[in-house]
Structure 1
Amino acid sequence: MPPPKKTAASQVNVFIGSDEARVKEAALMLVRRLTPPDAGDFGNDVIDGTADNSEHAGNICGNVCMALQTLPFFGGSKVVWLKNANFLGESGAGRGQDAVNGFERILDVIERGLGSDVSFVISATGIDKRRSAYKRITKIANIEVFDKPDTSRAGWEGPVLAMASQKAKELGITFESGALELLVQMAGDDTRQMENELEKIDLYLGERRRAGLKTVQNMVSMSRAGVLWDLGNAIGKRDLPRALELLGTLMYQGQNAIGLLLAAIVPRVRSLLLIKDLGSRHKLNKFNYTGFCSSLESLPSTATSHLPRKKDGTGFNAYPMFLALPEAGNFTLEELHAGFKACLAANSKLVTSSLDPKLVLERLLVGLLARQSR
């Protein structure tokens, strides 16, 4: 008997990443495209991959192996979709040996060869790259990764802005200068909320197809990133009571202190320091976002080499600095220099000491925002 024909890479598609909304959407679109038009529900074997524990994960893998080796119900082609698998990573149900061995059995079935009429799709939050299974699946599958941007890093807005711009274009919405950037700041890395907010704005606009800053401010709900953005606003306005209130709310919700420092406090202090320093030496257009960007581009490279840039290198990551323009007057340059050093010290305390994280951040905010008596 001849050995089974190897599975073609195009038959196995894996969608992984921390951006669950985009992972699910990409997998669903492919499954719909692969499903025969007249097959209905019988053209798919959809297996829920949400496992309660390692043993449950092993049972799910057994069902997947059976589905991959079962002929299509009415002949023709067939799609097997392991949906929302949560046991391929290094935590939770994925830690146990049953889960590890179960996924290895799935790979054994694929490597022995699937029928030419069988397609296999996996959607998951992640795969443990340290395991041999990851190396095996990279050789036999197409893998697409959809990760949320790291909001603690400068320039995270770039890819989110591009995605939001594309969605707005599909809906026929245009935004006045700075409005789309504000939407990104408020919705953050939650792409599902981003799409929901754009659709909400689409309905609100009606025949008017242009959205302004006030429309975004009034219509967009606050996500976690939006609350972080609000905390940044409180810092910029030097509103200590509001900043402490928001910090308390976020800590009560279980937010990580280092994450809050790096995602909300440090970026706003950095933007304030950059724009305060730049404005003290050069003339900047403060009236609109487009003019502000142009004034930055016209400065000599010696004055702008330290400014954050977009990931694609096409220009400055200017919107956080533009937001900081009206707020920079609330601080002196010396206060911002000292504040940035205080952020570094707070980060060190959070990492190396046993101090209460909330207390560390409260002290930082008091030092940053309390006005010193002269």
Structure 2
Amino acid sequence: MSGKQQVNLLFGSDTFSLENAATDLIKKISPELDSSFGLERIDGLVSSASDAANAIDSTREAVLTRELLGGNKLVWLKNASFLDRSRLGLTKSVKDRLTYLTDLIKKGLPSGHFLLVTSAKIDKVAAFYRACKAHGHVEEFEQPQYFNQQTAAAESYLLSAARDAGLSISRDTLVSFYERAGTDRSVLRQEMAKLRDYMGDRKTITNEDIRIMVSPTRDYSIFELLEAVGQRNLKKALPLLKQMLFNGENPVGIIVMTESHFRQFALLKELDGKRMLER
């Protein structure tokens, strides 16, 4: 992003990247801003139309109100939950309030005042989105769609976080880390902080450190269990099964899926054998 845009809209499902971008943006707009001077946060994570309307009104009022001591001012409408085409976002009172805020964006904010809006979802055909795009900076942050992309992002983050903490981690241990904690980088950041405190003077993270300190928060799928069973990898399959049961998976469902999976394999093997005989 070049220059300092007065209006900034950041959205998407990748909350880790979104929050980092918001923090960087705040520093870029005015390095001296802090939580008590020049930066006003407004909670947009609401569940009712009245609370959403109040959040929008508070945002508009804050943008128009000058700082008593002068200087730059940034208003952050954080985690707005009413900018998509949900029932809340389509409520008339919310749409009416958003129209007032949209008009302000089109008209232009007071000099030295900045607006930052962050949200998980947004309606890209709405007037509010189009006004932000036309008169400010809009950026989308989406979680990687495919598993290999998610693991690649997790590996890259863990390597960087370990270096920043002055620690080293092998490839095998790194895989054990995200297999246990998942690929959500917000979770990985918390788990890495726990490890850093636990390590003391040691500099190399081991699999035993992962087992002791990293919380098993990842939701494993039946397909990963079936893959481990198919590979006859008991060492991998048993912890997967244990974690799935701990997470509340239905034991009968696991049995049915496993039986169906291997019945299909047996059928394919039988058909393949018949084709070989026909040749």
Q: Please give the range of the TM-score, normalised by the shorter of the 2 chains.
A: 0.7 to 0.9
Query: Quick one: distance in 1 between partners of 2:71 and 2:247?
Result: 53
Residues 99 and 160 from structure 1, CA distance in 2 versus in 1: closer, same or farther, beyond 3 angstroms?
Answer: farther
The answer to whether the Cα contact below 8 Å between 2:43 and 2:80 also exists between their aligned partners in 1 is yes
**What letter matches 1:132 in structure 2?**
A
Instruction: Identify the match of residue 220 of structure 2 among 213, 222, 228.
Output: 228
Partner in structure 2 of residue 50 of structure 1: 45
Q: Which residue of 2 aligns with 1:159?
A: 153
Partner Cα distance (2:72, 2:240) in 1:
58
> Relative contact order (alpha carbons < 8 A, sep ≥ 6): 1 or 2 greater?
2
Question: 1: distance between equivalents of 2:171 and 2:22?
Answer: 35
Other-structure match for 1:112 = 107
The 3-state SS of whatever aligns with 1:160 is: helix
- Write the deviation string for residues 2-41 of structure 1: whole angstroms up to 9, x where unpaired: xxxxxx8611222222233443343244335545738872
Aligned to 1:364, the other structure's residue is in SS state: helix
- 1:100 and 2:92 matched: no
Q: Structure 1 residues 208 and 359 mapped into 2: Cα distance closer, same or farther (>3 Å)?
A: closer
SS of corresponding position for 1:90: coil
Q: Does 1:365 align with 2:228?
A: no
Q: How does 1:10-159 map to 2 (within 5 A)?
A: 10-31=5-26, 34-35=29-30, 37=32, 41-150=36-145, 153-159=147-153
SS where residue 93 of structure 1 aligns? coil
Q: Which amino acid aligns with 1:156?
A: Q
Q: What CA RMSD, in Å, does the superposition of the two structures yield over aligned residues?
A: 3.4
In the alignment, is the contact (CA less than 8 A) between 2:154 and 2:184 conserved in 1?
Answer: no
Are 1:11 and 1:119, in contact at CA under 8 Å, matched by a contact in 2? yes
Partner secondary structure for residue 178 of structure 1 = helix
TM value normalised by structure 2: 0.77
Kept in 2: contact 1:88–1:99 (CA 8 A) = no
Q: Could you tell me how far apart the structure 1 residues matched to 2:9 and 2:166 are?
A: 32
SS at match of 2:198: helix
Query: TM-score with structure 1 length normalisation?
Result: 0.59
In the alignment, structure 1 residue 204 sits paired with structure 2 residue 198: yes
For 1:312-351, what aligned pairs fall within 5 Å after superposition? none
Classify 1:155/1:33 alpha carbon distance in 2 versus 1 (closer, same or farther; 3 Å): closer
Quick one: distance in 2 between partners of 1:190 and 1:110?
A: 34
| Secondary structure of the structure 2 residue equivalent to 1:129 | coil
Please give the per-residue CA displacement for 1:261-286, whole angstroms capped at 9, x wherever unaligned: xxxxxxxxxxxxxxxxxxxxxxxxxx
Q: Match of 1:46, SS?
A: strand
**Structure 1, unaligned stretches of length 5 or more?**
1-7, 254-357
Task: Describe the superposition over 1:98-117 as per-residue Cα deviations: whole angstroms up to 9, x where unpaired.
Answer: 22332232121011011221
TM-aligned CA deviation for residue 245 of structure 1: 6.3
Q: How many residues align?
A: 258
Identical amino acids, percent of aligned pairs = 23
Specify every segment of 5 or more residues in structure 2 that has no aligned partner in the other structure, as ranges.
267-279
